[in-house]
Structure 1
Amino acid sequence: MEFRSNRLYHLLLATLAVGLLVAPAAAQTGTGGNNSNTTSQSGVYVDAQGVLRMQRAADPSGQLMRQRLAAAHASQSPELRKASGLRKISLNRLEKELAKATDQNNTIPEEMKNLAGLTQLKYVFFYPESGDIVIAGPAEGFVTDLTGRAVGTSTGQAVLSLDDLIVAMRAYAPDTKGVNFVGVSIDPTEEGLKNYQQYLASVGSNLAKINIATLIPGMQQALGKQDVTVTGISPKTNFAKVLVEADYRMKLIGIGLERPPVRIPSYTENSRGGSRNALQRWFFTPNYECVKMSEDGLAMELVGEGVQLIGENEMVTREGGRVQAGGESRASYMFTSTFTKKYPELAKRSPVYAQLRNQIDMLIAAAYIQEYDLYGQANWNLGVFNDESRYPVEVYNAPTQVETAVNAVWKGSKLVTPIGGGVSIKPKFALLPERQVPDENGALQKERAEVTVPELKPGQWWWD
C-alpha cells in the first residue's frame, strides 16, 4: 500500500526510523544475556491467559548462585561433576530406568532430567549387537540458574533437557511418518496491521511534532497483541517455550531493545530506511549442511553450529495482509549475517540460544533414528518416552499472544515497520544425501568403533 499524502508528509516521514517488535513491554529494559555467572538473568514465562511475559532475576552479590553451585556440588557424584569431552547415553537404557521410576511413583532424579549434564548432542551411534541407541557429546556438572535453566557449572552453557529430547523423539516416533516441519511464528494480526496503517495515516503531517514517547503508545495500541503459532510439537511444552523465547529475544536485539552479551549491531543501527509499509521478517533455521553419516548408516555426527538467522522482506497491504516483496534489505542482511556469525559466541553466554541449538540437534537426531529404522533394529517402541499419561511433558501454559514492544529513534531514514518471523525447522532436509557432509576416510565409522558399550551396572544408562 502507498499512502496518498502530500510531499511535506513524505519529507517528515523520512526523518523517523521505528522498529516494532513482538515482545512483552517489560523486555524493553533488557540488558544482556543470562549466563549463570552474571548478576542479572533474563527469561520468560507464560501467564494463565497464554500471554508471554518477560521475567528478570537479579543476584547483585552473586551469593544466591554461589549457594546453588555449592548445593549442586554436594548433591552430584564426582563422576557426574567431572567435565567430559564425550559422555555417552544409551537412550534405551535411560527409557527403561525412567519407566521404573514412573511406575513406582519415584521422584525423577535431576541427573536424568538433565541428561547427565550433556551440553551438546554431537553423535548418534547404533550398536546392533546390544541394541543400544547412543547419543554422545561434551558434558559437565550442572546447576539451575536464576531463571530455572540447567546450565553447566564450569561453562554456564545450557544443558540438554530430557523433556525436550522426548518432545523431539515423539515428533519422529516409530510407526509414524514424522513431522515435516517444527516451528514458531510470532506475527502481527491482520487487524492490527490494518489499524497500524490507519494510525500512521491519521498522524499525517503532524508526525514531526509528536514526541516519540507519545508516538510509541499509539503504535502499540494500534497493533495490539500479536499472535504466537507453534507447529509440529505441542505448544504446552518447554520445547515450544524455548523456541518462542529465542525468537522474540532475537528480535529485541534486532531493534535495539536488548543488548546482547556479544557485539551484534542492531537492524535499527544499520537501517538507512525502506518502504513505509515494509514488514521485516527474520527466521532461525538450521544450517542444513550439518550432518555427517557413516557409510553403514550406524553413526551420525552433527557438525558446525547448525543454526543460522535469515531474513526476507514482505509488504503490508491496506487491508493488513502480507505479500512477498523480494530481496532482503542491506540493514536486514547485515543484522542476520552478523547474528549468524556471532551465534556460537552468543550461545556460550546466553543459554536460550544454546537451548535452541540443542533442540534443533535433537530434532535432527530423532529424524535420523526414525529414518534409518533404528527403532526397529533395536526392537524399541520408545516406551514411556511416547506415553504422555506416564511421563507428561505438556505441562506448561501454551503461548498464544505477546504484547507489542516498540523502539523509535530519530534518523535520516524512512519508517521501519513491524517485525515478524519465527523459527523454521525441517529436520529431514538435513538427512538428504545431497546435503550431507562427506565422511572422509571413514573417520566417523572409526569414531563409532572406538566408542563401545561397556558392561554397565544395573540401572546405569550413561558413561564416559
Structure 2
Amino acid sequence: MDSLRFSLRPFVRLVVCASLCILGLAVSVHAGLLGGGNQRAVGGVIIDGSGIVRDANVEEKRELAEMLRAQMDAIGGDLQQADEMRMISLSGLQNAITAAAGKPLPAEIAFLAGLQRVEYVLVDSENNDIVIGGPAEPWTVREDGSVVGAVSGHPTMRLADLAVAMRGLEQASAEGISCSIEPTPEGRRKLQQLLRGVKLRPGQNPAAMEESMKLAFGPQMIHLTGVPTDSRYARTMVAADFEMKRVAMGLTRSGVDDLPSYIAMSRNAAHGAGQNPRWWMACDYEELTRSEDGMAWKMSGNRIKTMTEQDLIDQNGAAKGSGKQDKLAQAWADRMNSNLDKLSVQMPIFGELQNVMDMTVLATLIRQEGLAQKAGLDLSVLKGDDSPVKLASYEVPRSVAPQCSFIRGRKGWIVTASGGVDINAFEVVEKQRVDDSISEKTDAKLASKSDRWWWN
C-alpha cells in the first residue's frame, strides 16, 4: 500500500483593516483617519469573534482600498519625492504625535514620512535626540488595501509597528517573538487512522479524499509569543507564515518567475514516510556597523531568511525537528531568499515582515546599547503606558480551517508543510563591528536637520 501523506495550507493574508484597524493605532480619543471600521475585516481575511479566519473576497478587498484612499490626506511637499535617505527625528516624531492628540492623525505620521526601511540609527546628544534614516517614497494604496511605496512597490513602514516593538521588549526578552500555525496532535492521529485504511487504485485522483481528510485533520491552531496577540504586528507574522506555505505548496503563484513552488520542484522525488519539510522565516542581518563611540549605527542585510528542516511525526501525531534538511526543501528556501526583493513587491506581506523586523531590531538596539540614555531622550510617547498612542485591538487569530492538495512521489504522496516566524533581535544586536566611516555620511545629514520632524 502506498504511504499517503498530506499537506494542509490555509490561505491567510492579514494586512490591515479599514479606519482604526488599517493603521493599527489611534491618538488619544480622536482617531480621525484611524477611527471606526469593522475590526473583523482585514486585507485578505475575515476574522470572526472566535478567531477563525476565512478568505476575504474581491469586493471586501476593494472596499478596504476605497476606504483607505478616501480617508487619507493628500501627500504634499517634499513627501511627493522619493529620497535615498530620509531622516526622522524620534524626538520630533513624539512632539508631532502629542500635537495631534484629539485631532485626526496625519498619514505622514502613521506612515513615518514614507520610510521604506531603517538603515541608520544616530544619537544626536546635542539636541537630545535619536535620528533614524533610510530610503523613503510617497505611498499609494494597492487594490488589495496594501499601502506601498509608489516607486518600489515595497510596503511603507508604520508607526503602529514601531510602537509595538518599543513597548514589547520585556515580553520579547522573556518569551522570544514567534508565530506558528500547526495542526494538533489529535488531528494528526485522526488523519493517520484514516490513511491506514486507504488504498489508491492506479490512476485514482486523491483529490476525492480532500473533504474527509479535512474533517479528520481539523483546524490548524495559531500560536503567538512575544507580542500582543491582538496587534497588527502579530497579524503580519501570521500572514507571512501562511503566504510562505501557500507559495511553497503551490496553492498560489509567487509572481516571480524564478520562484516556483516546492511541489513543482519535487515532482517524482522520493519522499520517505514520516518525514515532512518545515519552513520558517527568521532575521537575516549582517553585523551591525557602529562608530567607535557607539553614536552612529548602520543596519544592513536581507532582513528575512527562510530556513528549513525535516519534521518527524510519531505515532501519537506529535512533530519534532530532526535536525536534517531535505535537499529540495533547502533549494526552494534558497530560491525564496534570493528572490525576496521581487517577492515582497508581488506579495507585500513579506515586505511587511521585513519592516516589523527592522522596527524590532531598532527598538532592541536602543535598549541594549542605552541609546536613549546617551541622547538624554525620553521615549515615553512611543513606549510608555500613558502614551497618547493607543494601539488598535483586533480580533485575535486563533485557528484556520485546513485546505488540502496532493502530489505523487516515487515512494508515496504529498509532503506536509509547517513552520512559522522567529524574530530574535537580541541576537542581531549582539553581532557588531566598528567602522568609523559611517559617520562621514551621517554627520552631514544631522547637520542639515530641519525644524520639522523629518527631512531629506
TM-score, scaled relative to structure 1: 0.84
Taking only the aligned residue pairs, the percentage that are identical comes to 27
Q: Would the aligned equivalents of 2:281 and 2:422 in 1 still touch at CA under 8 Å? A: yes
Structure 2 unmatched runs, 5+: 14-41
Shift of 1:350: 2.2
SS of the residue corresponding to residue 246 of structure 1 reads helix
Q: Please, which of 147, 165, 188 is the counterpart of residue 168 of structure 1?
A: 165
Shift of 1:409: 2.8
Separation in 2, partners of 1:450, 1:420: 48
2:402 aligns with: 404
Shift of 1:345: 1.7
Separation in 2, partners of 1:448, 1:134: 10
Mapping of residues 106-185 of structure 1, within 5 Å: 106-172=103-169, 178-179=173-174, 181-185=176-180
Change (3 A) 1:356 1:56: farther
Separation in 2, partners of 1:49, 1:300: 44
Separation in 2, partners of 1:24, 1:118: 26
Q: Please, which of 202, 207, 216 is the counterpart of residue 213 of structure 1?
A: 207
2:218 aligns with: 224
Separation in 2, partners of 1:42, 1:334: 31
SS of the residue corresponding to residue 251 of structure 1 reads helix
Shift of 1:193: 1.0
Shift of 1:77: 1.0
Q: Please, which of 392, 395, 399 is the counterpart of residue 393 of structure 2?
A: 395
Shift of 1:427: 0.3
1:463 aligns with 2:455: yes
Q: Please, which of 233, 241, 259 is the counterpart of residue 239 of structure 1?
A: 233
Change (3 A) 1:449 1:333: same
Q: Please, which of 263, 270, 283 is the counterpart of residue 268 of structure 1?
A: 263
Q: Please, which of 420, 426, 431 is the counterpart of residue 429 of structure 2?
A: 431
2:253 aligns with: 259
1:21 aligns with: 9
Shift of 1:287: 1.5
| Number of residues of Structure 1 aligned to a counterpart in Structure 2 | 424
Separation in 1, partners of 2:65, 2:235: 24
2:445 aligns with: 451
Aligned-residue CA RMSD in angstroms? Answer: 3.0
SS of the residue corresponding to residue 138 of structure 1 reads strand
Q: Would the aligned equivalents of 1:277 and 1:417 in 2 still touch at CA under 8 Å? A: no
1:300 aligns with: 297
Question: After superposition, what is the alpha-carbon deviation per residue over 1:314-341, rounded to whole angstroms, capped at 9, x for unaligned?
Answer: 1111111123323111121111111111
1:334 aligns with 2:328: no
Separation in 2, partners of 1:66, 1:153: 17
Structure 1 unmatched runs, 5+: 1-8, 26-40
Separation in 1, partners of 2:122, 2:233: 24
Change (3 A) 1:159 1:405: same
TM-score, scaled relative to structure 2: 0.85
Question: After superposition, what is the alpha-carbon deviation per residue over 1:164-218, rounded to whole angstroms, capped at 9, x for unaligned?
Answer: 0111111237xx9945621111111111111111111122x24657532321112
1:83 aligns with 2:82: yes
1:283 aligns with 2:280: yes
Question: After superposition, what is the alpha-carbon deviation per residue over 1:247-305, rounded to whole angstroms, capped at 9, x for unaligned?
Answer: 10000001100101103122212221322222321110111435222221112211121
Q: Would the aligned equivalents of 1:385 and 1:391 in 2 still touch at CA under 8 Å? A: yes
Shift of 1:385: 1.8
Shift of 1:377: 2.5
Q: Would the aligned equivalents of 1:294 and 1:300 in 2 still touch at CA under 8 Å? A: yes
Shift of 1:414: 2.0
Change (3 A) 1:42 1:17: farther
Question: After superposition, what is the alpha-carbon deviation per residue over 1:54-74, rounded to whole angstroms, capped at 9, x for unaligned?
Answer: 3253799x9x989988997x8
| Aligned residue type for 1:193 | R
Separation in 2, partners of 1:231, 1:394: 18
| Aligned residue type for 1:54 | D
Separation in 1, partners of 2:57, 2:297: 38
